[in-house]
Structures are given as C-alpha cells and as structure tokens.
Amino acid sequence: MNQYRAYCFDLDGTVYRGTEGIESAIRFIQELQHNNIDYFLVTNNSSKTPSQLQKALDKFGLDVPEERIYSSALATAKYVKQHYHDAKIHVIGSDGLFHAMKEEGFEINVEELNPEVVVMGIDRTIDYMKLSKAAVAVQNGAQLIGTNEDMKFPSEMGFLPGNGSFVRLVANVASVEPVFIGKPSPVMLQVIQDEYGYRKDEMVMIGDNYDTDILCGIRFGCDTIHVNTGVTSTDQVLKKELQPTYCVENLDDLILKIRAQN
C-alpha cells in the first residue's frame, strides 16, 4: 500500500452504520491520529451540521475537529452561491443543509412560491406535499439541485431511502435531469486538495459504496480503498469495469501497514 498523506473516509457504512460504530474503522482512524497522519471525513450526509457530526463521532470514541469534516451540504451551498447567488431558493432538507446555506448568506424561505432553484437534501420528515411543491416548481422552470444522489444508506435496521430516491422522484415527475453535488462528484476531494495542497497521489478515498465513494475517488484521480462493511459487497465490486485500487474486508487489514510505515 502506498504511504498516503491524506486519508479521506466516507461515514455511513464505512465508519458507522446508523447508531452503531464500525470498530475496525474507528481503530484505523485512531491509529492515524496516533501517527499524526491527516484524515478527512467526506460524507454525503447533508442532514447534520459539522458540529452535530462531530458530536455523533464523539459517541464512537472519535475526537474529530470540525475542519476535518466535509459534507455534501457544505459543497452544495458553495455551488449554489457560485452559480445562483441572486436567485430565489427553495430548500428541502435538514439542519446541515439549512446551516450551510445560511453560512453562505442565503435567506431560507421554505414557502417560496416561485423559486428559481430547488435544493434538496435528505429530509426525514418529507411528505407528499413537499415533494409535490418541488415537482411543480421544477416544472415551472426551477433548477433542481440535489446534495447527493445516494439511493439508499445502511442503518442498524437495514437499508433506508437516501436523498437520491426523493430527488429522482421529483426529477421524473418534472421530466428533468437534476444536478448532484455530492459523491460521486469529486467536488469535496477537490476542495480538500485546494485547501491543503496535497498531490492526488498523496490522497486516498475510502468507502463502502462503489457508486458514490469509489467512483468519487476514481473521477478525482486518486487511489481508492473499498471496504466490505456497507452498501456494496466485494463480490459486486469485483464485477465492475473500473476497479478500486484495493479491496479489503475491513480496515483492520491496514493497521499493521500503517504501523510498518511509521
């Protein structure tokens, strides 16, 4: 295994499943912390603020500074600011997305009647009327932007519908193709590279979901590590045309390599 300077981790299915931590990943990140190796948490979860994610990680025994947490909500807010800074915005989402949009200077009006942009992040209180209003707005010309296109995510109960399921529903009703910001888009990895100055060969993307985490790393141009702890099984990954750099059962397989390198 290469000696990387920046390890970028997915969260759901890689570091934890719902309210249950994945012990091998927790041990691996603690090993990186012990050896002063940089790591970042790159998540498509738009529901939580960096502070809320930090508190959730603390429950699993991980003390992670907020600046090491990159979410699709933060990347989406920056994208909307860059491309639609004067537009009327309608937002469907949770704390993480509302917080990120406000940080970029947007005034959130969930009752906006004639929005020019509809931004959708995961909303666990979503209902028929929210989806209907979004679909009508997009039919009337609003741009549809999703924080991420995850169709499902793992929990302690099993797989649950992800944000992509709801964005695709609205898009199908309005007969449009949405813009997605989160993984597999390489935007968040590009932000990390820009802010810290790593070369791509010094970075690695680690995740359980081939269609988001692994493709994100491949499209960015860095190495990738697939872990068999979440959405996509190793058997499924090995059938893909584009292969990750490494496939491991869990991150315990790599701890000894880190120790040998340091």
Question: Contact, 42 vs 74, CB < 8 A?
Answer: no
In sequence order, what DSSP letters do the residues of 160-220 get, joined into one string? EE-HHHHHHHHHHHHT---EE-STTSSHHHHHHHHHH---GGGEEEEES-IIIIIHHHHHH
Distances (CA, A) of 251 to 9, 174, 179, 230, 247: 11, 42, 33, 13, 10
d(CA 246, CA 118) in angstroms, rounded, equals: 38
d(CA 136, CA 21) in angstroms, rounded, equals: 40
* 10 labeled part of a ligand binding site: yes
Q: Which residue has the tokens 């915005």?
A: 89
Q: Which residues are catalytic?
A: 10, 12
* 12 labeled part of a ligand binding site: yes
β-strands 20-21, 16-17: how paired?
antiparallel
Question: Contact, 248 vs 230, CB < 8 A?
Answer: no
DSSP H helical ranges for 63-177: 72-84, 95-103, 128-139, 163-174
Per the annotation, binding residues for Mg(2+) are 10, 12, 208
Binding site listing for substrate:
183
